[in-house]
Amino acid sequence: MTSCFEDIVWQANPGARDTRANNASTEAFSSDRVRDVRKFHRSIPGYRPTPLADLAGLADYLDVGAIWVKDESYRFDLNAFKVLGASYALCQSLQAKLQCDRIPLGAGIRQPAGVRAQLAKITCVTATDGNHGRAVAWGAEQIGCHAVVFMPTGSSPARLENIRRHGAEASIIDGNFDDAVRLAAERAEQNGWLLIQDTARPDYTQIPERIMQGYLTLFDEAFEQIGGREPTHVFIQCGVGSLAASLQAFLLQRFGSRRPMLVTVEPTRAACFYESIAAGDGSAHTVTGGLDTIMAGLACGKPSSLAWNILRDYGDLFVSCPDRAAARGMRVLGNPLPGDRRIISGESGAVTLGLVYEIATDPANHRLRDRLGLNESSRILLFSTEGDTDPQMYRSIVWGDWSPATD
């Protein structure tokens, strides 16, 4: 069980800016790819960029130059960013499988008759804490194929129902997230199903890479919305690491050595990237056990191999963060200072803001603050990656009867 006395702990990556030590390729995230991916998402009916909130009041309060928060609760009525990756990977993979130029995606779009019949015979399978599975189910429903989704023990009934609502066969297994990933891979192998998973391993990289490429739209929108005032610091949540590594690759491709500092944030009991960097042997390490945290989307014990290669080489700083920071972030974002926009942010969405708040206000974090060089000229970019994807939990945290367990 998570203890309320757990600290924020961190590890800087000494090799992050050493061009001789860095060899992971980020070519797959080039500006041409950004254009392609954005064009794909623009073709989906209902696409529009999600809002970017400029929290000037909070920035003033915390004595920093700017805080921008991209609000993914507005993403295609799905309440989370995940659909950007799943939709792109699903369409690219089905196009390759059926050898057709384009499989359009969107409510009410009818595929050509021949393609429709082939799609109806295809089953996609995945494992999820909620958001990715919902995104795969949504995509499969719109395209006209089947989806099977496995969730770990302890998954929220609300998140399970949100997946079933899109016609997927979804179930909660006896095991943690990494067990669910293994089960999905086994079923894909046994039944000839299409595995749409965001965790890469050495023999399964193409689809995870497409998912990571799909996230480029999110970053491209954010930098377009910010305009010329580029951030100095970017904080990003980390589960299997696909989102964070995609962002790191985007920043490298766009800004090279002038890129902002990238800080990954994970829950204390599922901090596999933090533990891997701290081990210092260049290898990814797995965290086992119940991966107990309120940040369901980040409760992953095994780093994606593609994500690890990129973050190991370029990620600046890795933070392991207790649940209370996520709760703090949800409360602050949901109750803004005058003039700031209100953001409904779920447990995994709000942790980065909660962390920034704690770094800025708690003297116990002064070493981390100094290491980051956070001061009144810092411009901070954050991503609220989900809204209230479990509304009951959201209320319990924001209205007050949730508190971190004490043992």
Ligand X SMILES: Cc1ncc(COP(=O)(O)O)c(C=O)c1O
Q: Is the sign of the CA dihedral 278, 262, 130, 25 positive or negative? A: negative
- One DSSP character per residue, 195-227 reads E--S--BTTB-HHHHHHHHHTHHHHHHHHHHHT
Helix residue ranges, H only, 83-130: 83-98, 113-120
Contact by Cβ (8 Å): 230, 379: yes
Binding footprint of ligand X on the chain (CB under 6 A):
80, 82, 129, 131-132, 198, 237-244, 297-298, 300, 348-349, 385-386
- 82 a catalytic residue: yes
Q: Which is nearer to ligand X, 252 or 300 (CB)?
A: 300
Q: Which is nearer to ligand X, 69 or 119 (CB)?
A: 69
What proportions of the chain, in percent to the nearest 5, are helix, strand and coil? 45, 15, 40
Contact by Cβ (8 Å): 213, 29: yes
Annotated catalytic residue within 54, 70, 71, 82: 82
Contact by Cβ (8 Å): 136, 211: no
Kindly state the smallest distance separating residue 129's Cβ from ligand X, in Å: 5
Q: Which is nearer to ligand X, 103 or 271 (CB)?
A: 271
Q: Which is nearer to ligand X, 103 or 212 (CB)?
A: 212
Q: Which is nearer to ligand X, 78 or 119 (CB)?
A: 78
Q: What are phi and psi of 271, to 5 degrees?
A: -95, 65
Q: Is the sign of the CA dihedral 25, 29, 30, 33 positive or negative? A: positive
Residue nearest ligand X (C-beta atom): 297
d(CA 67, CA 383): 11
Kindly state the smallest distance separating residue 121's Cβ from ligand X, in Å: 29
Kindly state the smallest distance separating residue 347's Cβ from ligand X, in Å: 8
- 302 a catalytic residue: no
Kindly state the smallest distance separating residue 123's Cβ from ligand X, in Å: 22
Annotated catalytic residue within 129, 316, 340, 388: 129
Kindly state the smallest distance separating residue 197's Cβ from ligand X, in Å: 11
Residue labelled with tokens 């770990």: 152
Residues marked as catalytic: 82, 129
